[in-house]
A and B are shown apart, each in its own frame.
Chain A
Amino acid sequence: MRFMMLMYPQIEEADWQPSPEAVAAMGRYNEELQKAGMLLALDGLRPPSDGGSVSFDGEGKATVTDGPFAEAKEVVGGYWLIQARSKEEALEWASRCPDSNCRIEVRRIFEMEDFPQDVQDAYEGP
Chain B
Amino acid sequence: MTEATRAIEAVWRIESARLIAGLARMVGDVGLAEDMAQDALVAALEKWPETGVPDNPGAWLMATAKNRAIDRLRREKTYERKREEVAHDTGALFAMERSDFEAAADDEIGDDLLALIFTCCHPLLSREARVALTLRLLGGLTTPEIASAFLTPEATVAQRLVRAKRTLRDAKVPFEVPRGAELDERLPSVLEVIYLVFNEGYAASAGEDWVRADLCEEALRLGRILAELAPREPEVHGLVALMEIQASRNAARRGPGGAPVLLLDQDRSRWDPLLIVRGRRALERAEALPGPLGPYGLQAAIAACHARALQAEDTDWVRIAALYDALAQIVPSPVVELNRAVALGMAFGPEAGLELLETIEDEPELANYHLLPSVRGDLLEKAGRDEEASAEFQRAAELATNERERDLLLSRAARR
Contact = CB atoms under 8 A, between A and B. Distances in A.
Interface string B8-29: 0111011000000000000000
Interface residues of B, number: 30
A117 B251 contact: no
A86 B10 contact: yes
Contact of A83 (B9, B13, B14, B217): B217
B10 A92 contact: yes
Interface in B209-257: 214, 217-218, 220-225, 228-229, 251, 256
B214 A85 contact: yes
Contact of A92 (B11, B217, B268): B11
Given A92-B7, A113-B206, A125-B267, A34 B14 contact: no
Given A41-B274, A88-B6, A89-B13, A112 B224 contact: no
B401 interface: no
B6 A86 contact: yes
A86 B53 CA distance: 17
B311 interface: no
B110 interface: yes
Given A40-B274, A41-B274, A113-B251, A124 B10 contact: no
A38 B223 CA distance: 11
Contacts of A111: 251
Given A92-B10, A113-B251, A34 B228 contact: yes
Interface string A53-89: 0000000000000000000000000000101011011
B115 to A, nearest CB: 16
Nearest to A1: B217
A27 interface: no
Contacts of A38: 221
Main secondary structure, interface of B, reads helix
Main secondary structure, interface of A, reads mixed
B269 interface: yes
A112 B247 CA distance: 13
Contacts of A85: 10, 13, 214, 217-218
B278 interface: yes
B270 interface: yes
A37 B223 contact: yes
Nearest to B1: A88
B14 A89 contact: yes
Contact of B256 (A40, A89, A117): A117
B221 A93 contact: no
A94 B224 CA distance: 20
Contacts of B222: 37
Contacts of A91: 7, 10
B224 A37 contact: yes
Contacts of B13: 85-86, 89
Interface string B38-70: 000000000000000100000000000000000
A36 interface: yes
Interface string B91-120: 000000000000000000010000000000
A37 B240 CA distance: 11
Nearest to B8: A88
Contacts of B269: 124-126
A1 B9 CA distance: 17
Nearest to A113: B206
A35 B112 CA distance: 14
Contact of B14 (A36, A117, A124): A36
Given A83-B217, A83-B220, A35 B228 contact: yes
A111 B9 CA distance: 24
A121 interface: yes
Contacts of B273: 126
Contacts of B10: 85-86, 88-89, 91-92
Contacts of B224: 34, 37
12 contacts: A35-B110, A35-B228, A36-B225, A41-B274, A85-B10, A88-B6, A88-B7, A88-B9, A88-B10, A89-B13, A113-B206, A125-B270
**Those 8 A-B pairs whose CB atoms lie nearest each other, nearest first:** A125-B269, A88-B10, A37-B224, A37-B221, A112-B251, A89-B10, A37-B225, A92-B10
Given A36-B225, A37-B228, 17 more contacts: A34-B224, A35-B110, A35-B225, A36-B14, A37-B225, A83-B220, A83-B221, A86-B9, A88-B6, A89-B14, A91-B7, A92-B14, A92-B53, A93-B14, A113-B251, A124-B269, A126-B273
